[in-house]
Structure 1
């Protein structure tokens, strides 16, 4: 999903298949990390408090009302958005921000304050927090951990056949060299260990020296144990990268690719492991230098 609407109401899915989806309101989008700030929405409007804004069905284009909870917010990956169901205007976004900062709002809140544990809305808020955390824990954890070192998109290693593809590949190699020097990119040795046929194809288009440069940059510290890699397709290589990232506890995978293969500076694509777990593959264009950093708030 590339068209993210700030103020959009979406159905958001969890990274694992066992956690129920939920309705969220997107309040911010960070392109550098391909992550979203979201507030939880609830149809249980009778539990509304002074920290919530009541959204009428007519206002949001739905047949039912929703609570927008200013105090229940977190961070999610772009690929967790399933579909858009409606939206709100800037006044609602301003009201939620004001409530979170304990400032005055220019529209009615959804109810009186929660005054103590005996208030049934206290337990409701705790359950709502757990509900959102089950959706946002993976993304939030990685954002707190900070920038990840990107690997390379296996599809970028296919043999260029046109002038545009050759230029894009050369651009890709230059950014790889600079990325390795900066410590932001690594070249897995097992990924550039090519068969004779592919090496010959690179010779045929005059890119053998570029290929030799990739070999010099190769990192041999994490050679995988899978014996079938020698005859694998590029699609298998990326699936293998997804499995490696997921087994290491990550919910995102950053890959540097050719600019001609990617829509925009970064393109987030969904992938699933063999066990069905969702993972965000963020393809970074070689024509862009993007920092994977975002300031997050607990």
Structure 2
């Protein structure tokens, strides 16, 4: 018997479900979608392979700007997933692309706070990425910097943020890799990337160019990078306010999984196109 083509499971249908065959790209959230903490969600690695078998490219789509693509791949491998660096798309890479759209000068200085992922993304894009160190605030390079970028940086000091704010004020804008103001932890929360960005925005009165979910810019960057139109891509995630809203704002098909932080959608929440318990339930079972 010929194998049946891959199909979405429509048992939790919220809108018309298109044929899976129309899709070429799947933007996959990580924590809460493929794993929870240190535990892989049952069937997640098999789900990724079913995408590949169907000719759909999986892209590991993350707001975490601290990690390099190589470190994301290493984490995926530890969790039992097959992945390559080219299949990782981070908000840091989108930030570097946003800077490239506004700054044409090769080797231009970009002042930033953030982790290794943001530094590498900026340097890969051809910029002279310089971590904002408050001790340098009166150095000549600060006045010649062409752009500023803000990622999550627990080690950033008041003086470091002052330096980035000065650059943002002078150039009139800065890139922000993640707008989340709170970072959930076991006993509550810590200030998130968005809180750092709010500091810089308030101090500089500069335009904030958000390059992480739910901003459409991140999805648009991914579509452009992989050469896929919006109607041939879908996004899968557990966060209604980031993953699903990102899909809705860019017109790509959105799949909400109950396996993460959001629970059941409530009135007023961003509305997904399809709801399933986990990625293991997204497609009809073979047979």
TM-score (norm 2): 0.31
TM-score (norm 1): 0.30
Indicate the structure (1 or 2) with the bigger Cα radius of gyration: 1
